[in-house]
Amino acid sequence: MRVMVIVKATAESEAGIMPSTELLEAMTTYNEELVKAGIMLAGEGLTPSVKGKRVRFSGTSRTVVDGPFAETKELIAGYWMWQVKNMDEAVEWVRRCPNPMLSDSEIEIRPVFEAEDFGDALTPELREREDWMRRQTEAGQQ
């Protein structure tokens, strides 16, 4: 299964305080371990939410909201994508991660949807429309 491993923000990360050399070194070693384990697919660190934007949806209206955003602990500071056998394996690897932040922090693990997980929501009609759009696109290319 594929999981997204989400590093949650802290007051320091939101303030743009860079991690110490020691922490950077520990995280680099840990990232190397993930690569050597063959489970790492991707990963990035994110800038503080002050550089982010949100688009709010309400009916037909769209409102753009500039960062920073308030609920620090629910914000995302970085993520990995891992290919693991099950959630236990993901948990075991996260347990081995050095605290990615200078203060108390949290990492969240979320399985990625497989196509089958959409179940009945992706109806045959929706799939037909997908197919139709694809045919139009291809016809346009020819």
Partner 1 sequence: MADQSTDTNAVRRTIETVWRIESGRLIAGLARLTGDVATAEDLAQDAMVVALREWPANGIPDNPGAWLMTAARRRAIDQRRRREVLDRTHARLGREADERTADAVDAMDAAVDSALAAKRDGPSVQDERLGLMLMTCHPLLPREARVALTLRLLGGLSTDEIARAFLVPEATVAQRIVRAKRTLRAAQVPFEVPRGAAMVERLDMVLEVLYLVFNEGYAATAGSEWTRAELCQEAMRLARVVCALAPQSSEAHGLCALMELQASRLRARVDRNGAVVLLLDQDRARWDWLLIGRGQAALQQAERLARAADEPLGPYALQAAIAACHARARVASDTDWGRIAALYDALYETMPSPVVGLNRAVAAGMAYGPALGLAMVDALLADAQDAAMLQQYHLLPSVRGDLLYKLGRLDEARAEFLRAASMTRNTRERDLLLQRAGQGA
Interface contacts to partner 1, rule CB under 8 A: 26, 29-30, 32-33, 35-42, 81, 83, 85-86, 88-89, 91-93, 95-96, 98, 115, 124, 127, 130-131, 134, 137-138, 141-142
Vertex 98: Cα angle to 88 and 101 (nearest 5)? 115
φ and ψ of 17, to 5 deg: -75, 125
Of 75 and 93, which CB lies nearer to partner 1 in the complex structure?
Answer: 93
Provide, rounded to whole angstroms, the least separation between the CB of residue 92 and partner 1.
5
Q: Which is nearer to partner 1, 26 or 102 (CB)?
A: 26
CA 14/CA 75 separation, integer angstroms = 9
CB of residue 33 to partner 1, shortest distance in Å = 7
Q: Using H for helix, E for strand and C for coil, what is the string for 53-65?
A: EEEEEECCEEEEE
Q: How far is the CB of 70 from partner 1 (least distance, A)?
A: 32
Q: How far apart, in whole angstroms, are the C-alpha atoms of residue 80 and residue 100?
A: 13
**Min. distance of Cβ 117 from partner 1 in angstroms?**
12
